[in-house]
Amino acid sequence: MTTSLIGLDWGSTHLRAYRYDAQGEVEEKRAFAHGIRRLPEGGFAEAFAQAVQHWPDVPVLACGMVGSRNGWREVPYLDTPTSVDRLAGALARLETPGGRRVHLVPGLRDPQRPDVMRGEETQVAGALAATPSIGQRGCLLLPGTHSKWVSLRDGAVTGFATVMTGELYGVLLQHSILGAQLPESGDDEQAFHGGVVCARDSGAAGALSRVFSARALMLDGVLPPSSVADYLSGLLIGDELRIALAAGWADPLTPTRMVGEGALCERYLKAAAIFGIDIDAAPDNTTALGLWRIAAAAGLVSPLAAA
């Protein structure tokens, strides 16, 4: 089939390239370690040339940190509320040394918190394309190093919040007394469950008041050293869910959909079940789907192709 679009998911540590046919299906995918922090000799231009080598000269749409202050070209954030159409209308353009034109997706800013995202807005667009109904009144959870909780109303992102769960987990294990000289984790489901329950029951004090329990339980012989990491994982993910309920980001009346894949998302689903939060998993191709959806709204692909 005829290639109609090239999409780039260009983050801090990775670069993924998608070649789409005329119906928006990904015909070919490439992956490189050329994130904006790991560029090859020749910089952005060389990384781009490798990503699209031998692919047709068609419109290129890129999302992620490539449009950040340290990226190829900075694209200003759009304040919420923001719809997919508004994102599509604010694309920035740059010309590559090879003569190709690249369109860059802006990130989003929630001025009320304040908070920012860059790259996740394209995942949101993909989730909305896959399940339009959640855009009327829904919540998206994007787990990761910096988890995002995104509020959706009438097809637009009305606000979002970042919780640094993954980064805090890494800091505690690598740079605190809690993780000092621990053996390799044994993937202890019971320890993870115990951490989630501890966070759930921490009340107004929150899990920060319970973090040191990981060491106390180990010294008491209740928690094996190899299970400390799983306990801390449950404690921090559990506290993120506790915060989401307390802040009203998630509630029994608002559908919540999780965007992501892999073992981390499985942990969030297990923790959500302990809290009684009903979370559905979105398809794992939301970024690719979001790039196509934004390109269609921007007129980078023909109306027939976008149908």
Question: Domains, the chain, ranges and CATH?
Answer: 3-131+285-306 (3.30.420.300), 163-281 (3.30.420.310)
Task: For residue 292, give Cα distances in angstroms to 18, 26, 270, 281.
Answer: 10, 10, 32, 20
pLDDT at site 302: 77
Terminal alpha carbon distance of the chain: 16
- Comparing C-alpha atoms, which of 74, 87, 71 is closest to residue 34? 71
Instruction: Let me know: does 141 contact 258? Beta carbons within 8 Å.
Output: yes
Structure confidence at residue 284 as a pLDDT band (50, 70, 90): confident
Helix-strand-coil percent breakdown of the chain, rounded to 5? 40, 25, 35
- Comparing C-alpha atoms, which of 257, 201, 205 is closest to residue 234? 201
pLDDT at site 304: 53
β-strand partners of 8: 17, 62
- Average pLDDT in the 187-215 region? 95
pLDDT at site 1: 57
Residue whose structure tokens are 């749409």:
61
Q: Model confidence over 38-69: pLDDT tens digits?
A: 999 999 999 999 999 999 999 999 999 999 99
Structure confidence at residue 303 as a pLDDT band (50, 70, 90): low
pLDDT at site 30: 98
Instruction: In whole angstroms, give the CA distance from residue 105 to residue 87.
Output: 7
pLDDT at 91 > cutoff 50: yes
Task: For residue 217, give Cα distances in angstroms to 16, 103, 194.
Answer: 43, 53, 11
Instruction: In whole angstroms, give the CA distance from residue 269 to residue 192.
Output: 12
- Comparing C-alpha atoms, which of 148, 105, 172, 103 is closest to residue 250? 148
Q: Model confidence over 4-29: pLDDT tens digits?
A: 999 999 999 999 999 999 999 999 99
pLDDT at site 307: 46
Structure confidence at residue 181 as a pLDDT band (50, 70, 90): confident
pLDDT at 209 > cutoff 80: yes
| Torsions phi, psi for 20 (to 5 deg) | -100, 145
Pairing of strands 147-153, 156-163: antiparallel
Share of the chain above pLDDT 70, in %: 98
Burial profile 226-261: b = 16 or more Cβ within 10 angstroms, e = fewer: bbbbbbbbbbbbbbbbbbbeeeebbeeeebbbbbbe
Share of the chain above pLDDT 90, in %: 88
β-strand partners of 83: 156
DSSP H or E stretch at residue 232: helix 228-247
SS3 of 48, please?
helix
Residue whose structure tokens are 């499985």:
266
- Cα of 112 vs its chain's centroid, Å: 21
Greater confidence (204 vs 9) lies with 9
